Amino acid sequence: ILSHADYSGVSRETHLEKTLYAVDELSSFVVAVALVRPTKSIHDVDVRAVKKKMKDKAFARAVSREDIIHGAEELGITLDDVIAQVIAALNGDAGRLGLAGTA
């Protein structure tokens, strides 16, 4: 758990530690993208929408874009693939997470 934050100084050794680091900031960011959509649904979020919001520094400003990018790099997976996997995981549990939308 300590290794998921750079400031802890604990290195990430295992695939699980690297994955936790990669999806920690990203999952919160993707949820924020879903909640600002008119439908408030994760089902309406795609990789393009997430990457567009990443360029907007005022949107979810507390989320470190650098951590998101670095996490994908540590996993050796493209940023697009990590974003797609997070969206898919959230889609699978949308109802329980309150992300199924209003429509």
| pLDDT (0 to 100) of residue 37 | 95
Q: How many domains does the chain fold into? A: 1
| pLDDT (0 to 100) of residue 13 | 87
Residue 5 has pLDDT above 90, yes or no: no
Tens of pLDDT along 46-66?
Answer: 999 999 999 999 999 999 999
Residue 17 has pLDDT above 80, yes or no: yes
Domain span at residue 63 reads: 2-96
Residue 103 has pLDDT above 70, yes or no: no
Q: Scan for tokens 């997976």, then name that residue.
A: 77
Question: 41: which residues sit within 8 A by CB, 6+ positions away?
Answer: 34, 94, 99, 100, 101, 102, 103
Q: How sure is the predictor about 1, in pLDDT bands with cuts at 50, 70 and 90?
A: low
Tens of pLDDT along 20-53?
Answer: 989 999 999 999 999 999 999 999 999 999 999 9
Q: Is residue 102 part of a domain?
A: no
Q: Is residue 101 part of a domain?
A: no
Would you say the pTM of this structure is higher than 0.85?
A: yes
